Amino acid sequence: MRYQIDVTAAETSVDDWDGIRERRVFRFGTRNNAVSCWIDHGNLRGFEYQMARLFASKNDLMLQVVVADDLQQMVQMLREGKVDAIGAMLTDTPNRVFADLAPTRFYHRTDEVVVGRGGEAVITDHAQLAGRTIHVRPQSSYAYHLAALQERGASLNVAFVDADMETETILNTVAEGGFDLTVADRVIAELELQGRADLAILGTVVPDTAQVWYVRANNPVLRKHLDGFWDTTYRGIEYNMARKANFTARQEQRATGLGRAGSHQSVR
């Protein structure tokens, strides 16, 4: 499978499926992190990358991966026609960031969980968050759901971190005492917390959230093809193998102390 990786894409195009087929390149925007896309000994890895590669392969297209610094940049790349679709474990919410974009059908589901320091009491009720400060990225699904809790009367404080701060860095800052609490997708938290006693999942904020890719709203045919791809791929053999390689196997490696040092190299 041929692929190309860029920090910024040179050409722009807002063409729908016919244009993608004509240029024979599927351009995918994502983030450089331990779940979406990363480099291991010169090879691209990551669940989002593997799914984009599979979609391109099934449609006889070359894959071009374009890396964004943060959510806002990733969305802007899509709007400007620098990529055809974006995905980085993006939870489908009525967030204004995605107002003029169209989600695919979901391809993954996970809980959003509270993460604190190891040894803290388990949180079984939102009332236990009273007086605590939860650090999250602005415009994230975490920020959206926490704001909804506040509107329903939850007495908690939300502090925004830099938009380009990755979950791994936020978790490390919580462990070091720089942040009080944070929220993360369970699948990410379980991966990052394996083999660590200084952090713990304390409770669930929002159960069973749906993750989607986004395309431009005026690309309905591309969206239809992606929906069809997820219809046939979700929980299938290739999907499950990619999920095991990127989540289950890496959790086991980290639990035994393997695959941590040097396992996540920057794409750049």
The pLDDT tens digits for 106-141 are 999 999 999 999 999 999 998 999 999 999 999 899
Q: What are the E-state strand segments in 92-167? A: 101-103, 108-117, 133-136, 157-160
- Nearest CA-CA partner of 107 in 219, 234, 243: 234
- Nearest CA-CA partner of 225 in 59, 88, 19: 59
- Nearest CA-CA partner of 109 in 39, 161, 187, 193: 187
Question: Cα separation of 112 and 203, whole Å?
Answer: 9
- Per DSSP, the three-state class of 54 is helix
Domain boundaries, the chain: 3-108+210-255, 111-209
Q: What's the CATH code, domain 3-108+210-255?
A: 3.40.190.10
Would you say 112 and 204 are in contact if contact means Cβ atoms under 8 Å apart?
A: yes
pLDDT > 70? residue 145: yes
pLDDT > 60? residue 201: yes
Least confident of 36-50, 175-189, 226-240: 36-50
Beta carbons within 10 angstroms of residue 227's beta carbon:
16
Same fold flag, 3-108+210-255 and 111-209: yes
pLDDT > 60? residue 263: no
The domain 111-209 having CATH identifier 3.40.190.10: the answer here is yes
pLDDT > 60? residue 256: no
Beta carbons within 10 angstroms of residue 165's beta carbon:
15
